[in-house]
């Protein structure tokens, strides 16, 4: 298990924020002699809350009663041993933790699914069905001259996106980033303040109801492709506005169309994403354009990358048959629990103590953040060290092109997720 280590007071440079898909690694923290952390710069409320929150080393519990780590692992092992279909869900962890998840899933015939899979699967299904042309955050930072944001303001999910990727002071292939054009398409009451350039240049906003975004995207795709469009108004957006946008996209040297799966919260949102992919594909016949699917919060990009390189499939993958079995419908956590198809739920959550396990009719094991507070105590709770805060690790960035190391910054006596899962796996093999 993880051993306690004394960390002296220090100023910590280039620290990444592991729970955010951007993995912003420019944070500067101060650590006092007691091990408490404070964010010095830059100003980021999410990072400040993450690093400055302090938690007494929580204790494992069984049915809400404090117990030892050894007893909690023994009880969790017993629940696994009796289960015919364990479900490993949540999966908010880093690379090291996810590797341990995959090992345990294979050993126990478990199904795996991420807490954010509802939004992530929209992107995955499109990528699997038709492929896509997407870019990296580094390319956006250095090349973009027109950013089209679809159905979101981005900053609601990634507060520092514009600061880091759009209004950056230096870029390799752009002389003045303040001259970049920003267009918001779809959604209502978006926070577009971040889209205002440092020189005061205002973004263009083409609002419509969120569930009408697919119609507007289909119309824009037709216009970009040179197809005739007879309608004068599409879901409240004028044809003239879409025609002007199409011309701007065609004239741009490097346009990027960005979206988040979480924001596109309506039935069959993957069809809207396919239209984005189609727009990008058409634009690349005469200029350069790329998509930017933004995700990665709670380690979801890490989870599906690790799962894919080990099993060949992303989450919603099962080892029940003794080999990887991928089914994006049947292995959905909500469906499995609603229909009683799993007999033990293991909820893994390293980063956000507010992401509690869903209601389950069977036993629930929670392995996660020491600050988690439950309305109903799980059968077993094992608090663990937080990657990038209390444990070393590694995390994939939103664009899957970069994996950054995570450092242990403060002391804890809690085990890592890999420690706990390896102990359960060893106990099952020894039985």
Q: How far apart are CA 165 and CA 170, in angstroms?
A: 10
Q: How many CA atoms lie within 13 A of 349 on its CB side?
A: 22
| pLDDT at res. 7 | 82
Note the pLDDT of residue 3: 43
Q: Which two tokens stand for residue 189?
A: 């009451």
- Give CA separation, 227 vs 114, 218, 224, 230, in Å: 40, 11, 8, 10
Whether the per-residue pLDDT at 2 is higher than 50: the answer is no
373, two tokens? 């507070």
Please give the average per-residue pLDDT across 357-384, as a whole number: 96
pLDDT digits (tens, 9 = 90+) for 379-423: 999 999 999 999 999 999 999 988 999 999 999 999 999 999 999
pLDDT of residue 152: 96
Q: 316-331: per-residue pLDDT in tens?
A: 999 999 999 999 999 9
Which two tokens mark 59?
């204790």
C-alpha to C-alpha distance for 248 and 235, rounded to whole angstroms: 21
What is the percent of the chain where pLDDT is above 90?
89
Write phi, then psi, for 272 (nearest 5 degrees): -65, -40
Q: What is the bridge-based pairing of β-strands 61-62 and 380-383?
A: antiparallel
Mean pLDDT of 179-201: 96
Buried b (16+ CB within 10 A) or exposed e, 327-355: ebeebbbeebbeeeebbbbbbbbbbbbeb
pLDDT at 54: 82
Residue 4 banded pLDDT, cuts 50, 70, 90: very low
Closest by alpha carbon to 358, among 370, 371, 342?
Answer: 342
Domains detected in the chain = 10-47 (no CATH), 59-116+298-430 (3.40.50.740), 120-295 (3.40.228.10)
Least confident of 105-109, 196-200, 326-330, 400-404: 400-404
Interval 244-275: pLDDT, tens: 999 999 999 999 999 999 999 999 899 999 99
Tokens describing residue 412:
């804890």
Q: How does 16-39 read in b/e, with b if 16+ C-beta sit within 10 Å? A: bbbbbbbbbbebebebeeebebeb
**Residues 6 or more apart in contact with residue 323 via CB below 8 angstroms:** none
Q: What is the per-residue pLDDT for 47?
A: 93
Cα separation, 246 vs 347, in Å, equals: 45
Q: How far apart are CA 212 and CA 272, in angstroms?
A: 10
Contacts of 232 (CB under 8 A, 6+ apart): 238, 239
Question: Which tens digits make up the pLDDT trace of 119-154?
Answer: 999 999 999 998 999 999 999 999 999 999 999 999
Vertex 315 angle, CA 311 and 318, to 5°:
65
Q: Are 255 and 276 in contact (CB under 8 A)?
A: no
Taking 80 as the threshold, does the pLDDT of residue 1 lie above it? no
For residue 5, name the pLDDT band (cuts at 50, 70, 90).
low
């Amino acid at each position: 298990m993880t051993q306690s280590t004394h960390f002296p007071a220090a100023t910590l440079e280039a620290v990444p924020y592991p729970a955010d898909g951007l993995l912003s690694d420019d944070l500067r923290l101060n650590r006092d002699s007691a091990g408490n952390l404070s964010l010095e710069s830059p100003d980021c409320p999410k990072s400040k809350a993450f690093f400055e929150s302090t938690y007494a080393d929580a204790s494992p519990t069984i049915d809400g009663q404090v117990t030892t780590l050894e007893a909690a692992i023994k009880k969790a092992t017993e629940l696994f041993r009796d289960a015919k279909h364990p479900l490993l869900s949540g999966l908010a962890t880093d690379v090291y933790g996810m590797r341990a998840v995959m090992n345990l899933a294979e050993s126990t015939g478990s199904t795996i699914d991420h807490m954010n899979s509802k939004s992530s699967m929209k992107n995955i299904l499109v990528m699997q069905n038709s492929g896509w042309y997407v870019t990296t955050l580094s390319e956006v930072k250095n090349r973009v001259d027109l950013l089209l944001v679809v159905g979101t303001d981005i900053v609601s999910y990634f507060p520092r996106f514009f600061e880091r990727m759009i209004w950056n002071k230096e870029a390799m292939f752009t002389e003045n980033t303040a001259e970049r054009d920003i267009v918001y398409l779809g959604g209502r009451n978006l926070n577009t303040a971040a889209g205002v350039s440092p020189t005061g240049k205002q973004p263009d906003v083409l609002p419509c109801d969120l569930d009408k975004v697919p119609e507007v995207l289909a119309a824009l795709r037709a216009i970009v492709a040179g197809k005739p469009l007879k309608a004068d108004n599409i879901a409240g957006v004028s044809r003239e506005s879409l025609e002007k946008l199409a011309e701007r996209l065609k004239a741009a040297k490097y346009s990027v169309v960005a979206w988040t799966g979480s924001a596109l919260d309506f039935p069959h949102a993957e069809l809207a994403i396919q239209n984005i992919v189609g727009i990008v594909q058409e634009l690349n016949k005469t200029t350069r354009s790329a998509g930017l699917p933004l995700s990665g919060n709670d380690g979801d990009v890490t989870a599906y990358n690790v799962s894919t390189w080990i099993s060949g499939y992303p989450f919603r993958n099962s080892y029940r048959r003794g080999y990887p079995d991928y089914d994006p419908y049947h292995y959905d956590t909500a469906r499995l629990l609603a229909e009683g198809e799993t007999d033990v739920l293991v909820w893994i959550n390293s980063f956000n103590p507010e992401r509690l396990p869903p209601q389950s009719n069977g036993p629930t094991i929670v392995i996660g953040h020491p600050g988690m507070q439950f309305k109903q105590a799980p059968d077993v709770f094992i608090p663990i060290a937080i990657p990038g805060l209390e444990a070393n690790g590694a995390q994939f960035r939103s664009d899957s092109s970069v994996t950054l190391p995570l450092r242990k910054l403060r002391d804890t006596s809690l085990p890592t997720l890999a420690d706990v899962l390896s102990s359960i796996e060893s106990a099952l093999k020894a039985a």
